[in-house]
Structure 1
Amino acid sequence: MAKETVLVVCPGRGTYNAPELGYLARHHGGSEWLARFDAMRAEAGKATLSALDGAAKFGPALLKGDNAAPLIHACAYLDFLSIDRERFEVVAVTGNSMGWYTALACAGAVSGEHGFAIADGMGVNSQRHEPGGQAVLVLAGEDWTVDQALVATVEAAMARHGVLPSIRLGGMLVVAGSVAALDGFEKDLPQLSRSPMRLAGHGPFHTPLMWPSSDAARAQFPVDWFGQPQVPLIDGRGKVWRRFESDAQELWDYTFGHQILQPYDFTAAMTVGIREFAPDRVVLLGPGETLGGAIGQVLIARKWLDIASRNMFTARQGEDPFLIGLGRPSQRSIVIP
C-alpha cells in the first residue's frame, strides 16, 4: 500500500498555553529524547521541561521565551518523531517563526541535540532587542477571505507610523515596532473585524530592531552544527533547501541573520509547500492548534483542492481532514499509532 505524503509544519511562540499544560507528560512521558532535553536544561542550571510541563497551574513563567521556546520545540519535535513512517512519507518540512528552529531539526539539517540547544538558546536571545513589541491584525473576514483594499489601507498606515511587517500569517498580519509607533498606528487603523492584539512579552521579532539577538546567536551557535537537510526544508521566504544542494554556511547565515531581522512570510512558505510538493495531507505538529486557522486561510486564498471559503474548509475537514493538527486529539490518531 502506497504511503501518503505529508508536509509537516512546526509551530512557533504562543502555542503552549493553559490547555497544553501537561502535553509532554500526556504524549511523550518516558521519551528518551525528553530525558536528554531535561538533562541539558539541568546541566545549564535551568528548570527541566518535565518540571515546567508538570506545574500544578499554568502561569506567566511558561509564556516567557526562555521557557516557552524549549517547551514548544520539545512538544513539536517529539510529535514529529512519533509520526507513523510505515504509512506516511514526509516530503517537506516548514515552520512559523520560532518553528524554523524545530524545522531545522526535523529536516535533519541539525542534530536533535543541537536543534534543542538552538531553540533553548534563542528563547533567551529573543529577549535581547531594541525597545518594541508586536501586534496581531486580523485582516480576514468571517469567511476567511481577505479584502486587498483593506490590506493596502493597513500598509499605508504602517508606512505613516514606521511600523514594520513581522509575520505574514494567512489572513493575519503580525506587525512590529516601538511602543509609540504601534500606539499611533493602531489609532490610525480602519475598522477591523477584531481589535489589534498586542502580544504580551514579545519583542519586535523579525525586524532590524532584533539585531542584539542576531549578534548573540551568531556568537553562540557554530556553523559546524549545520549540514544538509535530509528532506526539503522551506524557510520564511519560501526558499526550499534541498539535500545535496544546500550550503551549510548559507543556512547558518539565514537562520541567524535574515530569519531574525527580516519579515517571516509563513504564507509564502505554505504556498510553496503545497504547490511544490502537492502533499496528500498537511500535518501541524503540537502543542496547540492556533496555526490551523492561518493554514486554512492560505488554502482558501490559493483555492487549493477547490477550497474557496471557510465553510468549504470546515466541510472538508469534517469528511477527510487535509490538515491534521496533532494538538487536536480527534486528529492525532490519524498519523500517530
Structure 2
Amino acid sequence: MKTAVVICPGRGTYNAPELGYLRRFFPDAGLLARFDALRTQAGQETLTALDGAAKFSLSTHSRGDNASALIFAATLGDFLSLDGEAVRVVGVTGNSMGWYSALACAGATTPDDGFRIANTMGTLMQNALIGGQLVYPWMGDDWVPDPARKAGLLALMAEIATRPDHALALSIDLGGLLVLAGNEAGLKAFEAAVPPVQGRFPMRLGNHAAFHTALQAPVAAQGQAALPQALFRQPALPLIDGRGHVWWPGANTTAALRDYTLGHQVTETYDLTAALRSAAREFAPDLFIVTGPGNTLGGAVAQSLILANWRGMGSKTDFQKQQTTDPILVSMGLEDQRGRVTNGAR
C-alpha cells in the first residue's frame, strides 16, 4: 500500500473534454441526487443536466455558480473512488476553490455541507464578479527555478498597485506560474508591461473574479452571513491550507476553520506552492494524487515539488525521469493514470 497526499483542483478544470465526467465516474447515485436537489431548491440547473448536456458551453459551464458545483462533485467523486487497499491517504490539500473540496474529502464537512459551501461561494462570486485574473509564468519551459525573474514580476505587480485607481495583487502562487488578480486597469497595465511568452501568456481567465484579494471582502462577508459554523467539523485527515498550515484532526476549533475558510482563504493570497512544500516535507508521501476533473494542475504540482527540492528534483527533466522510474504524481483526470489508484476504473 502506498501513502498519498490528495490535491483537489480549483476553477478552470471542468472544460469540454470533461463533459460527462460525473456520468462516467461519480460512484454514488444517491449522493449526486442530493446535490441535484440542493441545486433545484436554489433555483439552479442540476449537475446531472449540466454534465449531461449535448455540448459544452463556455458561457454556461464556466460560470462560477455552475463550475464550482461541477468541480466539487467531480473531485469528491474521485476521492470516494480511491482504492483503500492500494492507497492510504495521509493528507489533503487543494488549489483555490479546491479548498472547499478538500474540506469534504478530509471529513471537515459532510459531503452535503461541503457542497453547500462550494455552491454558495461559487454563486456569490459569480453574482458579484468583482475584478478578474490573469496567469503569467516565471519559470521557463525547463522548469528550472528563476527566483530573480519571479521577484522582478512581483515588484512590477506591486508598483502597478500603487498607481491611482489600479488594483493588482498575487492571487495564487501556483508553482512556476503567478496568478494575478485585480481590476481592469491593474490587469491591463501588467499585460502591457510584460512580453508575451509561450504563445499564450499573459492569459486572462474567463469568468474568473479577483479571487484571493482584498477586492473579495464583500463576498467574504456574504459567505460568513450565509454559512454557519455548524457546517464544519473536526477533520478526520490532516488538511494543508493555502498558507501551508496543517490542520491536524482534533487540534483546532471549527470556529477557526470556518474563519479561515470564509475569511483569509477568500481575501488573501492562496499559496499552493507552500501547501505542497508542507505536504511533501510533513508527510513524505509515496504519491501525490490530483483528483479530476481535468489534468491542468499536474504541471504546477510538479513545479512546486521541484521548488521544494523534493527527491532532489531541480528541473522538468528530473521530474520526467522520476515519473519514468518511480512515478510520484497521479492525475485521476487521465484515465490511464486513474486506474492505478481506483478499483474497476472505467
Q: TM-score, normalised by structure 2?
A: 0.94
Q: How far has the Cα of 1:150 moved from its partner?
A: 1.1
Question: Is the CA contact (8 Å cut-off) linking 1:161 and 1:184 kept in structure 2?
Answer: yes
CA contact (8 A) 2:91 2:240 kept: yes
In the alignment, the residues of structure 1 paired with residue 3 and residue 285 of structure 2 have an alpha-carbon distance, to the nearest angstrom, of 5
**Residue of structure 1 in register with 2:342 after alignment:** 336
Instruction: Render the CA deviation track for 1:149-176: whole Å, top value 9, x for unaligned.
Output: 2112111211111120000000000001
Q: CA separation in 2, counterparts of 1:211 and 1:156?
A: 24
The 8 Å contact of residues 171 and 298 in structure 1, kept in 2 or not, is answered as yes
Q: Give, in angstroms, the shift of residue 130 of structure 1.
A: 7.2
Output the CA distance in 1 between the equivalents of 2:278 and 2:127: 31
Q: 2:216 — aligned with what? A: 210
Letter in 2 for 1:113: D
What is the identity, as a one-letter code, of the residue corresponding to 1:49? L
CA distance in 2, matches of 1:18, 1:258: 32
Query: What code does the residue aligned with 2:282 have?
Result: E
**2:51 matched to which residue of 1?**
53
Whole-angstrom CA distance in 2 between matches of 1:117 and 1:245: 25
8 Å CA contact 1:93–1:231 kept in 2: the answer is: yes
Residues 26-73 of structure 1, C-alpha deviations (whole Å, 9 max, x = no match): 112662221221122122221111110011000020000000000000
Structure 1 position 4 matched with structure 2 position 9? no
* Counterpart residue type for residue 79 of structure 1: D
Residue correspondence of structure 1 range 1-337 to structure 2 within 5 A: 3-28=1-26, 31-59=29-57, 60-129=59-128, 131-162=130-161, 163-190=168-195, 192-193=197-198, 194-337=200-343
Q: Give CA deviations for 1:275-317 in whole Å, capped at 9, x if unaligned.
A: 1000010110000010000001011222212222212212322
Aligned residue identity for 2:33: A
Give the Cα–Cα distance (whole angstroms) in 1 for the partners of residues 315 and 68 of structure 2: 33
Aligned sequence identity (%): 50
How far did residue 218 of structure 1 move? 0.3
Distance in 2 (CA, whole Å) between partners of 1:159 and 1:130 is 23
Report if the CA contact (8 A) 2:27-2:80 is conserved: no
**CA deviation vs aligned residue, 1:175-209 (integer Å, no higher than 9, x gap):** 01110111112212256445210111111110010
1: distance between equivalents of 2:277 and 2:260? 20
Which residue number corresponds to residue 164 of structure 2? none
Say if 1:16 and 1:287, in contact at 8 Å, map to a contact too.
yes
Secondary structure of the residue aligned to 1:334 is coil
> More deviation in 316-325 or 226-235?
316-325
Gaps of 5+ in 2: 162-167
Structure 1 CA distance for aligned equivalents of residues 290 and 180 of structure 2: 24
Distance 1:109 1:29, change over 3 A: closer
Q: 1:213 to 1:323 in 2, by over 3 A?
A: same
CA RMSD of aligned residues (A): 1.4
